Amino acid sequence: MGKRKNINTTIDEDLYQETRILALRFKKNANDFIEEGMRYINEKYTKIIKDEEATRQTIASLKISGFEFINTEVEEMWSKVAAGEMTAEDVRKVVFDKVERLQIEHPECFVKPDK
């Protein structure tokens, strides 16, 4: 564990009471539960960022000429991922479904890989 940092913040009183009761039940300090929650949030959103970057790289690696993915649509999907309404896998599926449709409808617009 790293250096300790003292913080002063306000949180929902009921949430804090629930946390204190759980901490007592498990013979822990409420601050330990708060730290565990912060670690969980850090891991969750770090994973979302990594998934987002991987999906963006996948989209960028698709050699499609004549078509561009509408960035606002993809950005809206990432907002839904952050809100827990979608997963990164959902975003990939939407993107790949669109690519598959484009390949069928407009095969002439796809760059053939060099051999």
Per-residue pLDDT of the chain (115 residues; tens, 9 = 90+): 679 889 899 999 999 999 999 999 999 999 999 999 999 999 988 988 888 787 777 666 655 554 565 566 777 888 888 888 988 888 888 878 877 887 787 777 666 555 5
- Give pLDDT, residue 42: 94
- Give pLDDT, residue 24: 95
Helix (H, G, I), strand (E, B) or coil at 64: strand
Residue 30 near residue 16, CB atoms below 8 Å: yes
Q: Give the span between the Cα atoms of 90 and 105, in whole angstroms.
A: 22
Q: Which amino acid is at 82?
A: A
Helices (H) and strands (E) in the chain, counts: 4, 0
- Give pLDDT, residue 69: 58
- Give pLDDT, residue 1: 66
Q: Give the span between the Cα atoms of 75 and 71, in whole angstroms.
A: 6
